Amino acid sequence: MASQSSKIEEIIDTTQEQLSDSDSEVPETSASTPSKKKKKEEIQGGEGACSASKQADGAVSSADANEENVRQALEQMKIMDVVKGKAGIGGHNKKDMGAHKFWATQPVPQLGEGPPVDDGYIEPSKPREEVRQEPYPLPKDFEWSTLDINDPKQNKEVYDLLSLNYVEDEDASFRFQYSAEFLQWALKPPGYFKEWHVGVRVSSNKKLVAFISGVPLTLRVRGKVFTASEINFLCIHKKLRSKRLAPVLIKEVTRQVHLQGIFQAIYTAGVVIPTPISVCRYYHRPLNVSKLLEVGFTFVPRNMTAARMIRMNKVPDTPTLNVRPIEEKDVVSVADLFAKYMRRFDMVPVMSLEDVRHQFLSGQGTGKIGDGGEGRRVAQVTWTYVVENPETHKITDFFSIYHLPSTIIHSPKHGTLEAGYLYYYATDVAFEDGADEDGRLKKRLQTLIGDALVIANQAKLDVFNALTLMDNVCLLKDLKFGPGDGYLNFYLYNWRTAKLAGLEDEAGVKAGRGVGVVML
């Protein structure tokens, strides 16, 4: 086994080195977007809350051929983990954090505990003077570093670390392509603390080899509202995975959060650690079928041709609703609509006007649509579109998308895989009496998110991903999303609450409606 010093020398000498299969066997567990090494297996079929029963394999009548072929095309897609929304099935990582004793020492519900009698904190808050004042010790040859995301050089260091070590598929052929603009948007919401952007460097050459981030948010869990931190982007250089840096990174960012008087956190993982409050499943909607076939993300199933597959996944050229990009004048109306709509769900972010402006307006790039490529502005990260009542000028509906591409390492024809993710949305149809029960809400949401697919397609995105949260569950099948094999577990730090409805109904709450937080 290589010594620690020899591994450090490798890192010093091979900054951009392609790692061998043996080096990348053990995937890094991230607080938000873990990956897992797995074979290229078919996406397993799954039934959502609104799904009809599957037909048996075998011959299909001509009347049912189209629907059956679409189902097969979606359910048999071999989309890699990178396209599948950055997640693996919980508990299957070779070295997941559930195997460590670390979480038994933390204020989190432990596996096997029954549901809490009341919602609330596990450990009380502390005054600042009782919080540890000194950083936690690191192994020899490493040192702490606070990353300044405003500094282009340091921003690129984070970009390089994440791009080369964060999430990739098992063949090291696909890596997330985090832009400087994406990191600015994700890591600098209103009221962020630069001290929560925690790095670890090699002392001798100052190379960044680990990173974890936190950003503040106001969270409502059922009836209680509190300030929390959203922990994300836990990433450790592949050659240092055996050094057990993850627990000390988590403790150090927790210490920094505590110094600001905040004692709760939300985070997600593809692995199961103590103890998930909910789990959601990834679904995927192919947009550019030809490209997905060419780069090996999907194949043509039996009873299907490539031409038919393309035709059946075609989206309209123009939206159904009179949607337009969000503008500054819409922020107040969108904030009101968002706040009212999110009351439908049990765990949601509570956004100020500044939060709404940042989340839905700040990432739309510069210039005109088309300046940054077809359907895009320059440096565009998010697409937020609104529907405006022409008489009252109030915003009646909106949807948002964020864009996170991946580099395709070995394709001679295509360099980038363009993936979009369904972010937040709302419609005032939800406030009409009986709209949920009689199907009016479902119909409106299908039209609204169908228009999101149109916008994503106009921006030349290749695949569109969504989770089984909010009101997504009853939309996915009709909009031709296919179930993936990625699951995302949601966690709260220092807070107890009963399980929230995500993938399945919980305590009379419909699937998805327990979770209203979309983690990047």
β pairing state of 382-388 and 395-403 = antiparallel
Residues in contact with 278: Cβ distance below 8 Å, sequence separation at least 6, in sequence order: 347, 489, 490, 499, 500, 501, 502, 503, 506, 514, 515
Catalytic residue among 138, 337, 503, 520: 520
Nearest of 94, 92, 125, 97 to residue 111 by alpha carbon: 97
476 is catalytic: no
Of 304, 408, 300, 309, the residue nearest 80 (C-alpha): 408
Report residue 230 as tokens: 């959203």
CA nearest neighbour of 215 among 236, 189, 235? 189
Judging by beta carbons within 10 Å of its beta carbon (0-12, 13-18, 19+), is residue 106 exposed, middle or buried?
Answer: middle
- Specify the DSSP class assigned to residue 496: B
> Which amino acid is residue 260, in one-letter code?
Q
Sole residue written with tokens 């969270």 = 219
Q: Kindly give the pairing relationship between strand 323-325 and strand 197-202.
A: unpaired
Nearest in space to 111 (alpha carbons), one of 488, 491, 518, 487: 491
| 360 phi and psi angles, rounded to 5 deg | -110, -15
What is the SS3 assignment for 330-344? HHHHHHHHHHHHHHH
Cβ neighbours of residue 354 closer than 8 Å, sequence gap 6 or more: 190
Q: Report the catalytic residues.
A: 520
